[in-house]
């Protein structure tokens, strides 16, 4: 497997299949900030097919101190490759990019089913549950770089 930066449009099919099948089409699986200058979109490739995606945006959460932050959104891996390292490789690359840019934290809204995955990678959580319509229960999670 390999990780590459991609245009946001390449993330949409997997976003639709894995994260947002309730939306009307693949074309509807965009984030309104996908094309901001600070946006970074990563894809995991296996046999020349995209099997994992994630997007990064420079965003501040009021749940954290006033420090430099990036947000992880729309993290998805195809069910056929779960447990084979695609998700870990995506997060490792995301962490390397965010840390090298001088930011202090990478944070996300983690689905209930993904909490263990993020915890294994060193993310911490704030144990407050909230519901995102059409998707389900989430918790706020963050990875703080040691500086």
Beta strands (DSSP E) in 58-123 are: 69-77, 105-111
Residue 146 located in a structural domain: no
Residue 123 located in a structural domain: no
Domain with 34, as residue range(s), is 2-104
More confident call, 133 vs 93: 93
Give the pLDDT of residue 136.
78
Number of separate domains in the chain? 1
What's the pLDDT tens digit per position in 106-147?
999 998 889 999 999 999 998 788 787 777 788 999 999 985
Q: How far apart (Å, rounded) are the C-alpha atoms in residues 108 and 51? A: 20
Residue 136 located in a structural domain: no
Length of the chain: 147
- Residue indicated by tokens 């490789």: 89
What's the pLDDT tens digit per position in 6-21?
999 999 999 999 999 9
Alpha carbon 40 to its chain centroid, in Å, reads 10
Residue 121 located in a structural domain: no
What is the number of other CB atoms lying within 10 angstroms of the CB of residue 2? 10
| Mean pLDDT calculated for residue range 95-105 | 95
Q: How far apart (Å, rounded) are the C-alpha atoms in residues 100 and 77? A: 24
Residue 23 located in a structural domain: yes
Torsion angles phi and psi, residue 80, rounded to 5 = -70, -15
Percent of the chain with pLDDT over 70: 99
What's the pLDDT tens digit per position in 64-76?
987 899 999 999 9
More confident call, 134 vs 4: 4
Q: Structure pTM?
A: 0.92
Structure-token pair, residue 10: 């390449």
Give the pLDDT of residue 82.
85
CATH, residue 76 = 3.40.630.30
- Residue 41 buriedness (CB in 10 A; 0-12 / 13-18 / 19+): buried
Q: How far apart (Å, rounded) are the C-alpha atoms in residues 71 and 63? A: 12
Residue 98 located in a structural domain: yes
More confident call, 131 vs 56: 56
């Amino acid at each position: 497997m390999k990780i590459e930066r991609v245009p946001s449009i390449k993330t949409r099919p997997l976003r639709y299949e894995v994260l947002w099948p309730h939306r009307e089409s693949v074309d509807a699986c965009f984030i309104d900030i996908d094309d901001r200058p600070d946006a970074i979109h990563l894809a995991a490739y296996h046999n020349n097919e995209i099997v994992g995606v994630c997007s990064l945006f420079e965003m501040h959460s009021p749940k954290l101190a006033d420090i430099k932050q990036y947000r992880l959104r729309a993290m998805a891996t195809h069910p056929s490759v779960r447990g084979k390292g695609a998700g870990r490789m995506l997060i490792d690359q995301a962490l390397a990019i965010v840390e090298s840019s001088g930011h202090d934290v990478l944070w996300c809204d983690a689905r209930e089913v993904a909490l263990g995955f993020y915890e294994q990678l060193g993310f911490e959580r704030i144990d407050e549950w909230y519901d995102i319509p059409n998707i389900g229960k989430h918790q706020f999670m963050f990875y703080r770089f040691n500086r």
